[in-house]
Amino acid sequence: MKTIFEALRNLFSSDNEFFAMARTGKRITHIAIAIPILIVFLLLAMFLSGSVFQLIFQDSDISRTFGDFYDLFFSFGTLIFIVWLWVKFFEKRSFKTIGFQWKNAFRKYMTGFLSGFVMLGVVVGLMALFGVIGFKEKVEPFSIDFFGVMMLLLLGYIVQGAAEEVMARGWQFQVIGARYKPWLGAVISSLMFALLHGLNPGVSALAVVNLLLFAFLLIFIILNDGSIWAACGWHTAWNWTMENIYGLKVSGTDGGASVLGLTAEGPNYITGGGFGPEGSIFTTIVLIAGMIIVLIRHSKKTK
């Protein structure tokens, strides 16, 4: 236990290279700006991408798949662009300093992706053991077209997962942590992350707890790696697998086409209720276990 606490203290050191990168610019955003402007970034991205969508596709018959892809790829891609503008022209530093260094980038991303895939698999597996998992009556048959849809949505989730990491942890957590204290950046960015997702349908008290744990797990991963690549991969795998592999709700939102077409019926504390597996007690257990594993790895790395 002592080793875990030592690793935690070391992980949240102000000297962590992740915070050092924020100090390479001309200025670091003040906390009074960093909190509200995150909402401005989101609203601006939604407005710009929505306006372009209406302008180009106003009279078109757009499929749900393309609509989902547009929201994931272009809406969140616009968010990344807005954060890039802020970092580049206000803070006067390279965008890669938010945690996008190229060294071992692909390996880190895939490690995060596989970790997210496995951890969600454990959650769904535990739900199945407790008898709350079933199958939908109608499942999309596998075909080349269906495979194309899955890959298209994966591309969308790659952008979406990266955008949320760029906004919440690559930027907000980093600048508050670098200018003030790492723990303050972690608490504020995690609360903001939980608040924004907590506005989704079907949210519960347990879901909010899991959203906070979700945010802290990714912060642990980022500080251990000194980059956001693994966190981006983890976030993408978690969301894409939940919707397009299992067919379960993602943060209260019903999924579209999926490989397995699963359903979850039973006590809300096990299934997550209307919020999906992210509101399940099994997600709580898996996220806490993930945080402990990261701390143990960090402890071994720093010996």
Q: For residue range 80-108, what is the model confidence (pLDDT) as tens digits?
A: 999 999 999 999 999 999 999 999 999 99
Backbone angles phi, psi at 250, to 5 degrees: -115, 110
Is the separation of the CB atoms in 258 and 243 below 8 Å?
Answer: yes
- Written as one letter, the residue type at 39 is I
Q: What DSSP designation does 59 have?
A: T
Residue from 238, 218, 207 nearest 123 by CA: 238
- Averaged pLDDT, 223-228: 95
Report pTM: 0.93
Is the separation of the CB atoms in 212 and 194 below 8 Å?
Answer: yes
Residue from 275, 288, 262 nearest 127 by CA: 262
Three-state SS letters, 117-161 = HHHHHHHHHHHHHCCCEEECCCCCCCCHHHHHHHHHHHHHHHHHH
Rounded-to-integer distance, Cα 162 and Cα 233, Å:
8
Least confident of 92-106, 127-141, 264-278: 127-141
Q: At what angle do helices 229-240 and 144-165 cross, to 10 degrees?
A: 140
Is the separation of the CB atoms in 168 and 192 below 8 Å?
Answer: yes
**What 3-state class would DSSP assign to 270?**
helix
- Written as one letter, the residue type at 128 is A
- Written as one letter, the residue type at 226 is G
- Written as one letter, the residue type at 161 is G
Q: Where are the beta strands (DSSP E) in the chain?
A: 133-135, 262-264
By CB atoms closer than 10 A (0-12, 13-18, 19+), residue 223 is buried
Residue from 212, 215, 214, 230 nearest 297 by CA: 230
* Cα–Cα distance list, 77 to 55, 66, 97, 213, 220 (Å): 18, 15, 18, 25, 25
Is the separation of the CB atoms in 192 and 172 below 8 Å?
Answer: yes
Q: What is the pLDDT of residues 110-123, one digit of tens each?
A: 999 999 999 999 99
pLDDT of residue 2: 58
- Reported as a pLDDT band with limits 50, 70 and 90, residue 289 is very high
pLDDT of residue 50: 83
Q: What is the pLDDT of residues 151-210, one digit of tens each?
A: 999 999 999 999 999 999 999 999 999 999 999 999 999 999 999 998 888 899 999 999
Is the separation of the CB atoms in 254 and 243 below 8 Å?
Answer: no
- Structural domains counted in the chain: 1
Backbone angles phi, psi at 266, to 5 degrees: 160, -165
Domain span including residue 90: 2-301
**In terms of DSSP bridges, do strands 133-135 and 262-264 run parallel, antiparallel, or are they unpaired?**
antiparallel
Rounded-to-integer distance, Cα 179 and Cα 163, Å:
22
